Copies of this chain bind each other. A is one copy, B any other.
Amino acid sequence: MKRTQLTMRDVAKALGLSVSTVSKALSGSYEISAATRSKVLEFAAEKDYVPNPIAKSLKYGESKSIGVVLSTVDNHFYCKVIDGIESVAHQHGYNIIISQSHESYEREVLNVKNLTSRAIDGLLISPSTETVDYDFLKNLQQEGLKVVLFDRITNKMDTHKIASDNFQAAYKATAHFIENGFKRIAHIGGSPNVSITIDRLEGYKKALLDNNRDIDDKYIQYCHHSGKTVEEVEEAIIHLLNLKYPPDAIFTATDRITTKTFFSLKRQKIMIPQQIALMGFTNTQLADVISPSLSRIRQPAFEMGQLAMNKLLELIKRKKVVPDYETIVLNTTLEFYESTEKIVAVHL
């Protein structure tokens, strides 16, 4: 910023003191007399002197800011995670820098490089769907960068990880379909690269098995960008609809897949839930004013953000001790509305 900001030198010159004296006075050092200190403090307050954090960063190698890398902020779930992160960060005097990977590994690496080289004290990251190689992150970690993974976690890295109980949520959602009498329950998952896809798939499968249902791979579809584009979701749905015995229920694994599936079914004039019932992960607020109102799994987004930030702060604060990394699993909330109601045809 080419700005004419007041520096410590200016303050020193104006008061006829040395920079070191001013520095110490401002930091409240015992070495400085009360008279001088108050003179400096007054002047600084009056002239609105703000120390240059860049210089501080250079000196200390810390920046009081942390980076957040995620696929996109255009997602109510991530927005709430950010709110959670922010609330804790601000409390501790940290600023957050958000960058979006848009599900691109390349962009993600670029963003992370940019952030780290720019001095961040820590990194909160939910990797892109394309990310399979965590070496760049592990390298940075080895160089001393504090990393906490949230939402999309991986066992390829050893660090704090915060995620929802995806297995349980998927299990319960699938079981609910079964209890309500649905027969052919399909699943549209996100990218098989990310753990949440696997966990949710496993929950789905386990629920089927526990209820003596067969697992039929024809009913399992993937969206390799977790529902980033309409096309990939539409493709999965077309595939399902073209089956000899199309599903009578779909369980969708991500926020964007869920809403896009809803769109798509509507566009194809499929009656929900009469022809196909629908339930999925989503934190969208509009889920209960759309018609039919959408049964859904909500993730504790705000809490996830808070926890992730707190865990990161832990890593930042205790500088040397080798931490025992934790993986924290948060409970989700299942809400059942019209889209999963079993409507029994009444013949008059």
Contacts and interface: CB of A to CB of B under 8 A. Distances in A.
Copies of this subunit: 2
Nearest to A117: B50
Interface residues of A, number: 56
Interface string A227-262: 000000000000000000000000000000001001
B73 A3 contact: no
Interface in A74-89: 74, 76, 79-80, 82-83, 86
Given A54-B54, A74-B79, A61 B2 contact: yes
A145 B5 CA distance: 10
Given A54-B118, A86-B100, A145 B3 contact: yes
Interface in A30-54: 50-54
Contacts of A57: 54
A120 B1 contact: yes
Given A4-B144, A284-B286, A289-B291, 20 more contacts: A1-B119, A1-B145, A3-B61, A52-B119, A53-B117, A53-B118, A54-B63, A54-B119, A55-B58, A73-B82, A73-B98, A74-B83, A83-B100, A86-B100, A95-B115, A96-B99, A97-B98, A259-B286, A262-B289, A263-B289
29 contacts: A1-B61, A1-B119, A1-B120, A1-B121, A2-B62, A2-B121, A2-B144, A3-B143, A5-B143, A53-B117, A54-B57, A54-B119, A58-B58, A72-B79, A73-B98, A74-B76, A74-B79, A86-B100, A95-B97, A95-B99, A95-B118, A96-B99, A97-B97, A259-B289, A262-B289, A263-B289, A266-B289, A284-B286, A286-B286
Interface of A: 1-5, 50-55, 57-58, 61-63, 65, 72-74, 76, 79-80, 82-83, 86, 95-100, 113-121, 140, 143-145, 259, 262-263, 266, 284-286, 289-291, 319
